[in-house]
Amino acid sequence: MEKRVFNFSAGPSMLPVEVLEQAQRELVCYPSCGMSVMEMSHRSKMFESILAKAKADLKELMHIPDNYKIMFLQGGGSTQFAMVPLNLMNKNNKADYVITGQWAKKAAEEAKKYGQVNIVATSADTTFNRIPELDSSKMDPEADYFYITLNNTVYGTHWTNLPDTGNVPLVGDMSSSILSEEIDITKFGLLYAGAQKNLGPAGVTVVIIREDLLGNAMDFTPTMLRYDIHAENDSLYNTPPTYGIYFMGLVFDWVKRQGGVAALQKINEHKASLLYDFLDASSLFRGTVVPKDRSLMNAPFVLPTDELNAKFIKEAEALGFVNLKGHRTIGGMRASMYNAMPVEGVEQLVAFMKKFEMENK
Amino acid sequence: MEKRVFNFSAGPSMLPVEVLEQAQRELVCYPSCGMSVMEMSHRSKMFESILAKAKADLKELMHIPDNYKIMFLQGGGSTQFAMVPLNLMNKNNKADYVITGQWAKKAAEEAKKYGQVNIVATSADTTFNRIPELDSSKMDPEADYFYITLNNTVYGTHWTNLPDTGNVPLVGDMSSSILSEEIDITKFGLLYAGAQKNLGPAGVTVVIIREDLLGNAMDFTPTMLRYDIHAENDSLYNTPPTYGIYFMGLVFDWVKRQGGVAALQKINEHKASLLYDFLDASSLFRGTVVPKDRSLMNAPFVLPTDELNAKFIKEAEALGFVNLKGHRTIGGMRASMYNAMPVEGVEQLVAFMKKFEMENK
Ligand SMILES: Cc1ncc(COP(=O)(O)O)c(C=O)c1O
Ligand SMILES: Cc1ncc(COP(=O)(O)O)c(C=O)c1O
Ligand SMILES: [Mg+2]
Ligand SMILES: [Mg+2]
Ligand SMILES: [Mg+2]
Ligand SMILES: [Mg+2]
């Protein structure tokens, strides 16, 4: 078989090779069905059991309490930017947002179409290299919800201490950190994540919502953008992205085999420290995020010049470390190390960085 | 390998086995990439070329003129029910709909949220067993568009002669007939189709729109539901359903190898006539649709009693003819014979129906 690369893409991104191999074996015929999962009616017993198992496994892995609904939707994170205000900005028609980068910014811009958006804090002044300090006097106790991006994929920041929002439901975009670390669901009213980083192929979005927040969507909300509709129909209001749901289910099984989320978190902390410790010790490479807010998943770093950045990316690629180029809006490098990135991937990258430093300083 | 069944599901439905086998070979490593298509960044050269080729092939297969944009979106047909009015009901805030079954009905209900809906005609009085006659005095020359479901998946009806709507743009839901027959795109302002019947896995929707209809979405339209945004960004405004797009591309290649849409139409006509001719000759089985409006893709039929229907479905399933149960709203049987259903599938089904008739009359 062709040699697989170490793919540091921010998303879509590396998936566990064992899961890809299982999906490959089952692609033409899912066991004892005589058809591919792609060919199954979403109303068939076979598919319904795939869906039910995926839900039950996610519930177990994330310790999701019974008063939360789990949905598998289409539209990606960007559709959530609209669904959140359309469904939740329904009491006082206003919400609090913390801007930690372009994803929170896009979410806030979209929400402005539907109500009043209060920017509690932003780290724009330091090019989003930190989670901003929160001044509780700026938090609106009448806000319908309080919105954060748990892990900023572009700038590589991460909320370690969740804000205390009192009775205001906390809404979290965890697209780039779901299943990478333990999280206390009960702190949230709503959590969502696009699948294309830690879960599977692009095209499925996981939404976890506290039941009391369902209902009361704005009148003009498209039916397909109403959480209550999808919750009532158990993600089968219309044809769901069946293959993506199946694949996520295989990933959930894989996570369980790794020992669950706590075990993956340990491995992720180890991978991240391999890279961050090197960056801190290096006189040539530099991490761009303040240490306390560093992401376990996305590590942006720079060399002293654009020429060196370009040289590094090129040489890395030739060695099979691909997609290390930073986001088009910030440049430099970014190594995304999602759950599926093996420890050896990071070890070998750091070894190459050491060599590059020796040759270029 | 496990024996594959003949899957008569209305969608998701049978896919060409050669395409499934190719996807299987390439699942872990797309040639010369060292990664799965699922793992490719949507901004990578590799994926962009997959996307560009899929678009170019569809343009060629459907003879789509240069003044139309092709988009690959998320959300399924049901999201189009909202996108159509949100984006097109923008001049006189009203539209004409013809109701040929529950899909057109759902589309019309959704449109009522956003403007005035004029029901030009409906075939509800005969349980949607025909395409209704159009009384041109009921057509509104000031409508922003005129909406039809080209092929009704549930009731098995099909528009053979398109309505003449003058300057009013014709909008067509071709979810269950895309690539099954030649169609004159220039008669339409907008056409859309969910992938899960003739194109690939659920989770991608093809939208073909005449450029002059872009822009002018209603103010409160969610960004992700704006055609202009997706057209300007060439389906890359956000992360598209990359794997579904890749798979559709393989299906487009397959259609080309079959000789294109005209060749498939001939085969589809042959398959349909095998079944309809038998239904017409049979004294036990009966097709439910008036002959002139019969669909090539979905053929509903009944036996004299519910007991016989149930017996037939059960015996058929045991022989590997699966998903023949009619839609939950109408009962009886329905055989969906999309492009990927081989002629032998229909031949063998008809042979079994003949045997069933002999044994049960
Ligand atoms: C944190 C975060 N939120 C939202 C999005 C947008 O997701 P999508 O492209 O699925 O709309 C992304 C995409 O990378 C992301 O990283
Ligand atoms: C003609 C037609 N339109 C629309 C739909 C709805 O599509 P989706 O389930 O992708 O929302 C279907 C589903 O079968 C259909 O057959
Ligand atoms: Mg952000
Ligand atoms: Mg340093
Ligand atoms: Mg209809
Ligand atoms: Mg008959």
- The three state secondary structure string of A4-37 is CCEECCCCCCCCCHHHHHHHHHCCCCCCCCCCCH
In testing the pocket of ligand 2, which one of B13, B128, B131, B176 has its CB within 8 Å of the most ligand atoms? Answer: B176
pLDDT in tens, B19-48: 999 999 999 999 999 999 999 999 999 999
Q: Give the chain B residue whose CA is nearest to the CA of A341.
A: B39
pLDDT on residue A71:
98
Nearest alpha-carbon partner for A150 in A90, A216, A88, A194: A194
Annotated binding residue A295: no
In degrees rounded to 5, what are phi and psi of residue A187?
-75, -10
Of A35, A224, A225, the CB nearest to B7: A35
How far apart CA B94 and CA A150 sit, in angstroms, is 43
Contacts of A113 (CB under 8 A, 6+ apart): A82, A85, B219, B220, B222
Share of chain B above pLDDT 90, in %: 98
Sequence spans of domains, chain A: 7-17+260-360, 18-257
Q: Which residues surround ligand 6, an ion (CB under 5 A)?
A: B 282, 286
pLDDT in tens, B202-218: 999 999 999 999 999 99
Helix, strand, coil % in chain B, rounded to nearest 5: 40, 15, 45
Q: Identify the H or E element spanning A206.
A: strand A205-210
Structure tokens at A118: 């209060």
Q: What is the whole-number distance in angstroms between the Cα of residue A77 and the centre of ligand 1?
A: 5
Give strand ranges (E) for B48-179.
Answer: 68-73, 94-99, 116-122, 146-149, 151-152, 157-158, 170-173
pLDDT on residue B222:
98
Given an 8 Å threshold on Cβ–Cβ distance, is B27 in contact with A28?
no
CA distance A114 to chain B (A): 7
CA distance B148 to chain A (A): 19
Binding site listing of B for pyridoxal 5'-phosphate: 77-78, 103, 153, 173, 196, 238-239
3-state SS class at B349? helix
Per the listing, tokens 């004029």 go with: B118
CA distance B178 to chain A (A): 17
Strand order in the sheet with A94-99: A68-73, A205-210, A190-194, A170-173, A146-149, A94-99, A116-122
pLDDT on residue B224:
98
Q: What is the whole-number distance in angstroms between the Cα of residue B329 and the centre of ligand 5?
A: 13
Worst-scoring range by mean pLDDT, A327-341, B100-114, B187-201, B273-287?
A327-341
Contact predicate B226/B209, CB 8 Å: no
Per the listing, tokens 């950190």 go with: A177
- From chain B residues 117-176, the ones with a CB under 8 A of any chain A CB are none
Structure tokens at B197: 């019947």
Which residue in B1, B8, B41, B153 has the most chain A C-beta atoms within 10 A of its own C-beta, making it the best mutation to test that interface? B41
CATH number of this structure's domain A18-257, picked from the four choices 3.40.50.300, 3.30.420.40, 3.40.50.2300, 3.40.640.10: 3.40.640.10
Runs of H (alpha helix) within B6-141: 17-25, 45-62, 76-88, 102-112
Given an 8 Å threshold on Cβ–Cβ distance, is A42 in contact with B239?
no
The ipTM (two decimal places) reads: 0.98
Supply the residue whose CA is at minimum distance from atom 13 of ligand 1. Answer: A77
List chain A residues with pLDDT less than 70.
1
Given an 8 Å threshold on Cβ–Cβ distance, is A204 in contact with B202?
no
pLDDT in tens, B322-348: 999 998 778 899 999 999 999 999 999
pLDDT on residue A361:
86
Of B3, B79, B239, the CB nearest to A11: B239
Whole-number Cα distances in Å, A304 to A224, A285, A312: 48, 7, 11
pLDDT on residue B1:
66
pLDDT in tens, A285-321: 999 999 999 999 999 999 999 999 999 999 999 999 9
Nearest alpha-carbon partner for B123 in B164, B85, B156: B156
In degrees rounded to 5, what are phi and psi of residue A55?
-65, -45
How far apart CA A214 and CA A67 sit, in angstroms, is 11
Ligand whose nearest atom lies closest to the CA of A101: 3
Q: What is the whole-number distance in angstroms between the Cα of residue B136 and the centre of ligand 5?
A: 20
Please state the separation of Cα B20 from the chain's center in Å: 20
Contact predicate A243/B202, CB 8 Å: yes
Q: A22 touching B, CB under 8 A?
A: no
Contact predicate B225/A222, CB 8 Å: yes
Q: Please provide the DSSP assignment of A295-359 as one string.
A: -SSEEEEE-SSHHHHHHHHHHHHHTTEE--BPPTTT-SEEEE--TTS-HHHHHHHHHHHHHHHHH
**Residues lining ligand 1, Cβ inside 6 A:** A 11, 76-78, 103, 149, 153, 173, 175-176, 194; B 238-239
pLDDT on residue A77:
98
pLDDT in tens, B304-323: 999 999 999 999 999 999 99
For the domain spanning A7-17+260-360, the CATH number is 3.90.1150.10
Given an 8 Å threshold on Cβ–Cβ distance, is A5 in contact with B240?
no
- Judge if B18-257 and B260-360 fold alike in CATH terms: no
Of B39, B75, B328, the CB nearest to A15: B39
Instruction: Output the average pLDDT for chain A.
Output: 97
Contact predicate A341/A8, CB 8 Å: yes
Tell me, which fold does domain B260-360 have in CATH?
Aspartate Aminotransferase, domain 1 (3.90.1150)
pLDDT on residue A314:
98
In testing the pocket of ligand 2, which one of A38, A43, A238, A242 has its CB within 8 Å of the most ligand atoms? Answer: A238
Contacts of A123 (CB under 8 A, 6+ apart): A99, A100, A101, A129, A130, A131, A132, A157
How far apart CA B153 and CA B177 sit, in angstroms, is 9
